[in-house]
Amino acid sequence: MDKSKRRVVIAGNWKMNMGPAETPVYAATLAGMYAGVKKDAAVDVAVCVPFISVTAAAAALEGSGIKLGAQNVHWENKGAFTGEVSPSMLRQAGAEYAIIGHSERRQYFGETDAGVNRRALAALAGGLKVIICVGEREDERDAGITDELVAMQLKLALRGVAEAQLSGVVIAYEPVWAIGTGRTATAEEAGRVCGVIRRTAASLYGKAAAEGLTIQYGGSMNAANAAELLAQRDVDGGLIGGASLKAEDFMAIVRAAMR
């Protein structure tokens, strides 16, 4: 498969960190550092911030080239859904991306595969790009069902998503056992599972469409292991958690992607 046909996406997931007071300072720091990075037109850089910080981040990042995302999105554009945020609201606030189905949403807040699908369809229809997360828990990995589980999650998440919409879809392989633990899948294992994801996408949309699909690795990618992970044939970027909260570490990953 030809990696040159795919965009690389490096996206920081700030999780529940940095509110409207801290966000402008940190986002401006990132923007200043990014200005000094030798750019590659095939690489997109984004930060996905808490809902309450989207507007502040949009202002601080304006003109920087760093794209902005949120960490979730609802499946309706308006209505009696207290506490939720719609695709149109995020677009109005300046977001371009939304993370959907992160393992923490699944584990702590009851997110289901059906909910992931509804959110993805609504976000795409509303003009957002989506980063759809899939991945196995440690017990599922130990049971030897990683490939089947990841394939099932992908198929359910993409139900009703047309091939023409895939340009707005990024898939993040996030082995749950590696998120926030400091543990990381070997580069070879990360690349292998990302290959499973691409073959599953090919079964749904055909080989040509699958070759154009961006697949990130999201299990504790950091400045030390980014280059090795990004060198894998089917790894096209990273969804960065803890390392995205340290500007120098995040930019080291960005520089690795730009090479």
- Which residue's entry shows tokens 């554009």? 77
First to last CA, the chain: 19
Rounded Cα gap, residues 215 and 90, in angstroms: 23
Which DSSP symbol is given to 165? Answer: G
Rounded Cα gap, residues 83 and 76, in angstroms: 12
Q: Is residue 95 helix, strand or coil?
A: coil
Rounded Cα gap, residues 178 and 187, in angstroms: 13
Find the helix or strand (DSSP H, E) in which 120 lies.
helix 113-125
Q: Give me the active site residues, please.
A: 102, 174
